[in-house]
Amino acid sequence: MSTTTFETIRVETDGPIATVSLHRPEKLNALNRTLILELTAAFTQLIDAGQSRVAILKGSGEKAFAAGADISEMANLTSVDARRFSEEGHRLGSVLEGAPFPVIAEVQGFALGGGCELALACDFIHAGVKAKFGQPEVNLGVIPGFGGTQRLARRVGIGMARELCFSGKIVDANEALRIGLVNAVHPQEELSAKVMELAKLIASKGPLAVAAAKRVLLKGEDQALPTANALEIEAFGGLFGSADQREGMSAFVEKRAAAFTGK
């Protein structure tokens, strides 16, 4: 296992699994500009290294994944500065979505405002029973700025997204599960183990296939069905002839575990 320490985040890699932790526990992992830029850099490095098959994104401490953007830093932003901050948050979301490996958000506490948006930019979310989610930006006279309006609507539907964004109300983990915001809710003490178990399961699968599935699901999400199906056809055909495809099918026939290499 190797650990890389930034100013506001920690990155641990253990074989094919990377764990990236927001590390501002004294600020409930609030998202300031440094943290946003460091997360972007860290995930870009993981992508470029080409060793990770799954990444887990989590918060340090017991209280928060990320309680929101750092209001003390945001309060005096000019309109130009605010636009730049929003663009940087959107760039991070694009990096997470574009990574060739799944990113799992492990949410143990508050995921509010920018924290909820950060979780939404991950492929899916697993939560502890104490987790809370919301887009309360209207309480501050603004709206979500890191993709929250758009990703939330795609995750829970436009009607529920409107309700959450217009009211600023906060929902608990079980309500988040009911509306489709999170994939699963676990007992608090089991959350990390359950997420790691899932990460290991995904990491054992063909990485080229997982990357293709992620790419096609993302690109096809807002396309007409015939166009989206064409993306699937192209990706499906493109995987044949790869070493992973040959290994996976040989292993199935031979009734053994496949040893994928990502080639």
User: What are the residues whose beta carbons fall under 8 Å from the beta carbon of 171, sequence distance 6 or more?
Assistant: 132, 133, 134, 164, 179, 181
Mean pLDDT along residues 166-193: 98
% of the chain at pLDDT higher than 70: 100
Domain count, the chain: 2
- CA angle at residue 114 from 162 to 55, to 5 degrees? 115
> pLDDT grade, residue 97 (50/70/90)?
very high
Is residue 77 assigned to a domain?
yes
Question: Residue 233: what pLDDT?
Answer: 97
DSSP character string of the chain? -EEEE-SSEEEEEETTEEEEEE--GGGTT-B-HHHHHHHHHHHHHHHHHT--SEEEEEESSSSEEE-SB-HHHHTT--HHHHHHHHHHHHHHHHHHHH-SS-EEEEE-SEEETHHHHHHHTSSEEEEETT-EEE-GGGGGT----SSHHHHHHHHH-HHHHHHHHHH--EEEHHHHHHTTS-SEEE-GGGHHHHHHHHHHHHHTS-HHHHHHHHHHHHHHTTS-HHHHHHHHHHHHHHHTTSHHHHHHHHHHHHTS-------
Q: Is 189 an annotated catalytic residue?
A: no
Asked whether residue 102 falls in the same domain as residue 189, the answer is yes
> pLDDT grade, residue 175 (50/70/90)?
very high
Q: What is the CATH number of the domain that holds 223?
A: 1.10.12
Is 90 exceeded by the pLDDT of residue 2? Answer: no
Is residue 160 assigned to a domain?
yes
d(CA 79, CA 94): 22
Is residue 259 assigned to a domain?
no
d(CA 102, CA 127): 16
Is 90 exceeded by the pLDDT of residue 1? Answer: no
Asked whether residue 101 falls in the same domain as residue 137, the answer is yes
Asked whether residue 87 falls in the same domain as residue 160, the answer is yes
Pairing of strands 17-22, 184-186: unpaired
Asked whether residue 115 falls in the same domain as residue 245, the answer is no
Domain boundary (168, 184, 203) is at 203
Asked whether residue 132 falls in the same domain as residue 176, the answer is yes
Asked whether residue 11 falls in the same domain as residue 43, the answer is yes
Is 90 exceeded by the pLDDT of residue 141? Answer: yes
Is 90 exceeded by the pLDDT of residue 83? Answer: yes
Is 90 exceeded by the pLDDT of residue 4? Answer: no
Mean pLDDT along residues 235-262: 95
Tokens, residue 100: 């060739």
% of the chain at pLDDT higher than 90: 94
pLDDT digits (tens, 9 = 90+) for 46-59: 999 999 999 999 99
d(CA 207, CA 227): 24
Point out the catalytic residue in the list 88, 117, 221, 254: 117
> pLDDT grade, residue 99 (50/70/90)?
very high
Which residue range(s) make up the domain with 23? 2-203
The dihedral over CA atoms of 64, 68, 72, 74, expressed in degrees to the nearest 10, equals 160
Q: Is 26 an annotated catalytic residue?
A: no
Is residue 127 assigned to a domain?
yes
Asked whether residue 25 falls in the same domain as residue 136, the answer is yes
10 Å CB burial of residue 189 (0-12, 13-18, 19+) is exposed
Say what the pTM is: 0.95
Is residue 262 assigned to a domain?
no
Residue 114 identity (one-letter amino acid): G
Asked whether residue 214 falls in the same domain as residue 160, the answer is no
Point out the catalytic residue in the list 137, 197, 234, 254: 137
Is residue 260 assigned to a domain?
no
Asked whether residue 121 falls in the same domain as residue 213, the answer is no
Tokens, residue 85: 């901050």
Question: Residue 234: what pLDDT?
Answer: 97
Is residue 153 assigned to a domain?
yes
Within the chain, what is the greatest distance between any pair of CA atoms? 64
Asked whether residue 245 falls in the same domain as residue 116, the answer is no
Asked whether residue 223 falls in the same domain as residue 121, the answer is no
Asked whether residue 121 falls in the same domain as residue 191, the answer is yes
Q: What is the CATH number of the domain that holds 72?
A: 3.90.226.10
Is residue 193 assigned to a domain?
yes
